Amino acid sequence: MRILIDMNGLDDGYRPILEAAAYMRSEPEIQITLIGKPDAEKMSREASIPFIVAEEEISTQEKNPAFAIRQKKNSSIVKGLMALREGEFDVFLSGGSTGALLAGGMVIVGRLSGYPRAVLLAPMPTTSKTTYLLDVGANVDVTPDMLVSFAKCAIAYVQATTGKDRPTLRLLNNGIEEQKGSELTKQAYALLQASHLPFDGNIEARDIFTGVCDIVITDGFTGNAVLKTSEGVFRFIMQMLKGLKETSWRAKLGLYLLKRDLKRTLRDLDPSTFGAVPLLGLNKIVMKMHGNSSTEAVIASIQSALRVHKSDILDRMRKQEE
Amino acid sequence: MRILIDMNGLDDGYRPILEAAAYMRSEPEIQITLIGKPDAEKMSREASIPFIVAEEEISTQEKNPAFAIRQKKNSSIVKGLMALREGEFDVFLSGGSTGALLAGGMVIVGRLSGYPRAVLLAPMPTTSKTTYLLDVGANVDVTPDMLVSFAKCAIAYVQATTGKDRPTLRLLNNGIEEQKGSELTKQAYALLQASHLPFDGNIEARDIFTGVCDIVITDGFTGNAVLKTSEGVFRFIMQMLKGLKETSWRAKLGLYLLKRDLKRTLRDLDPSTFGAVPLLGLNKIVMKMHGNSSTEAVIASIQSALRVHKSDILDRMRKQEE
């Protein structure tokens, strides 16, 4: 796998990427190239990692990513996606602006035939396995048939990366009954029901975390709200737990004893350790990793990229459309 | 306050309501009447609490609440709302089907002039105070001006019940920038911005739990997903905490020591202890309590009802519309 990694976009700067690239250098299946601003070139060369200079950067705070893609021709994202399109690399991996990767992916790399949009999935921790939620923010206004297309993307992804033949699929709704929901979900329900997809009906948001299915489909607005709510509640409870220290000596000692095991479990749940996920619906492999990825998370992301690269996901997605 | 309480709809049956009614009987400001099926009449009479017989029940699992309202004329919800409309009571309190209360509220009790829909708000626990989220399920397909009407409802409610003069208000969105969002939220943003309401801009779902504002406005589909996600994540983390018992003796002992204080804090966060909330937008006071309300929760709900009854909320809402 020839992978091109964006040096921009991580909260911790260049370090996690340089360390991960150095660590993975000896892997025979992986050839890493980095792309970024001139100040990163020297560090990369010193570590004997090939480097492409991209003078500009599209900020993760960029408010109009589609515009930035047109303006910043020398950004790592635009140059990186162009090199991917030209076949110089198999995968482009970035922790940068999701909006810019999506806009650039659509404009520069192009869509897979039959897939109207690129879509972003998020792995959600559950009590039994990982459940993929999508879309989580790429497409806020969608039509029922786009939801079906999201379902096809996700099924191909889970099949290709886990080997599971028939991943289970549900539609996020405000009740489990068929007649429940908005106009959008009612129509999507009918389309999914009539399709050949392994559709198991509606799911309410509270049940996502029980691992009852592999894939939960929703529009990007709701998916984004679900993802961010789960982050918010998680932080809230952790803060509440910490606050118990002040309530009694028993609680303080209890927390002290619990700390080590709790930390280990929380690390397993942290989305930044899950590795990168692909933007599905594009005709090349563009992987997005979390902005606060650590060195371990970048390594996990490169491994995810290898798994996706070695899978037959793009073929599967083309076949889903036949 | 002459309050009529629905005997149907609670997970724990009649007991919490009978106990709460007996407990509150001596309150000089409160006259409680119960309404329910014949089998509850004897218990109510034995406790010297006035009782109205309603032969039928609309199940909380009712799939078509609007239809049930037309069919079950002798249900506690239909008869109760009719008695409320006729002025026989000041408040109707129920833990039954939210859909039936909303449909019945609109059809039997009627809307406040200027308010197109009845809306359901949910108190969300935060690190500093309670934040009200609405709509959480009454209206899944909404227009931008409905969101403005939800805002007016919530402002009147917070003003009337907390005495806070200028509650702070935000719009739930997938980013905080003005130009972010779906067609719905972009248009609602412009309307809210142009209004005289105390609008502080967008909020992302993860920040609801930090107590940064009093009111968060959204459509009923997204609000429902946010509410249920928070329940799901909460359950998930509690299960994860319990599971730590198995990881080491340290963790097991830690959990044992933590238990008492954790339980107390969790009880404060439990939505079923928050008391009832009104269905806003109706021209009478209809209060909905949680289906799994305990005796304490029913008492809290009667107290909420008294607070709402003694407030000037309906007048405020009428005035908002002038």
Mean pLDDT for B143-164 is 93
**% of chain A exceeding 70 in pLDDT:** 99
pLDDT for residue B88 is more than 80: yes
> By CA distance, what is B222's nearest residue in A?
A222
Chain B positions in Cβ-Cβ contact with residue A261 (cut-off 8 Å)? 244, 247-248, 250-251, 254
Residue pairs between chains A and B whose CB atoms are closer than 8 Å: 185
Which tens digit of pLDDT belongs to each residue from A187-202? 999 999 999 999 999 9
Confidence of residue B59 (pLDDT cuts 50, 70, 90): very high
Cβ pair A229:B224 closer than 8 A: no
Is the Cβ–Cβ distance between A80 and A117 less than 8 Å?
A: no
Structure tokens at A56: 């500009």
CB environment B57-95: b (16+ within 10 A), e (fewer): bbebebeebeebbeebeebbbbbbbebbbeeebbbbbbb
Q: Does the structure show a pLDDT above 70 at A138?
A: yes
Tell me if the bond preceding A315 is cis, omega within 30° of 0: no
Within chain B, how many helices (H) and strands (E) appear?
11, 11
For residue B220, give how far its alpha carbon lies from the nearest alpha carbon of chain A (Å). 9
Q: What is the Cβ-side half-sphere exposure of residue B215, based on CA atoms within 13 angstroms?
A: 29
Q: Predicted confidence band at B40 (pLDDT cuts at 50, 70, 90)?
A: very high
> How far, in Å, CA of B204 to CA of A283, rounded?
31
* pLDDT surpasses 80 at B130: yes
pLDDT of A251 reads 93
- Chain B residue numbers with beta carbons less than 8 Å from the beta carbon of A269 are 240
CB-CB: which of B63, B231, B262 is closest to A177? B63
* Closest to B315 (Cα-Cα) out of B151, B150, B114: B114
What's the mean per-residue pLDDT of chain B?
92
CA distance, residue A113 to nearest chain B CA (Å)? 26
pLDDT tens track for B250-287: 999 999 999 999 888 887 777 667 789 899 999 999 99
> Does B61 score more than 90 pLDDT?
no
Q: What is the mean pLDDT of residues A71-90?
A: 97
Contact of A263 with chain B, judged by CB distance below 8 Å, is answered with no
Higher pLDDT, B162 or A69: A69
In order, the DSSP letters of A158-183 are HHHHH--SS--EEEE-SSSSTT-S-H
Q: Which helix (H) or strand (E) holds A153?
A: helix A144-162
Distance, in Å, from the CA atom of B143 to the CA atom of B138, rounded to the nearest integer, reads 13
- The pLDDT, as a whole number, for residue B167 is 95
Q: For A24, how many CA atoms within 13 A lie in the half-sphere containing its CB?
A: 29
Q: How far is CA A67 from CA A26, A59, A119, in A?
A: 39, 12, 19
pTM of the full structure: 0.91
Q: Residue B149 has what pLDDT?
A: 94
> What is the residue whose two structure tokens read 């990982």?
A130
Three-class DSSP category at A83: helix
Which residues in chain B touch residue A222, judged by CB atoms under 8 angstroms apart? 221-222, 225
State which amino acid sits at residue A298: V
Q: How far apart are CA B296 and CA B275, in angstroms?
A: 9
Closest CA to A288 of A55, A30, A1, A280: A280
Confidence of residue B322 (pLDDT cuts 50, 70, 90): low
Nearest CA-CA distance, residue B290 and chain A, Å: 16
- pLDDT of A321 > 80? The answer is no
**Better pLDDT: A157 or B275:** A157
Distance CA B2, CA B29 (A): 9
| Residue A257 contacts B, CB cutoff 8 Å | yes
Task: Using CB atoms, pick whichever of B207, B208, B228 lies closest to residue A204.
Answer: B228
Q: Which DSSP helix (H) or strand (E) runs through B268? A: helix B249-269
Going by C-alpha positions, the residue among A55, A48, A49, A68 that lies closest to residue A8 is: A55
Q: Which residues of A touch B259 (CB under 8 A)?
A: 254
What pLDDT is recorded for position A212?
94
Show which of residues 58-87 on chain A sit within 8 Å of chain B, judged by CB atoms: 63-64
Q: Is the pLDDT of residue A272 over 80?
A: no
Q: Which ipTM score applies to this complex?
A: 0.90
pLDDT for A270 = 72
A207 has a pLDDT exceeding 90: yes
**Segment B133-147 mean pLDDT:** 94
Sorted by sequence, the CB contacts under 8 Å of residue B308 that are 6+ apart come out as B91, B157, B160, B161, B278, B285, B287
Positive or negative, the CA dihedral A231, A236, A242, A248 is negative
Give the other-Cβ count within 10 Å of A142's Cβ: 23
pLDDT band at B80 (very low <50, low <70, confident <90, very high): very high
Lowest mean pLDDT among A102-106, A175-179, A242-246, B216-220: A175-179
CA separation for the pair A321, A281 (Å, rounded):
11
CB contact under 8 A, A233 and B230: yes
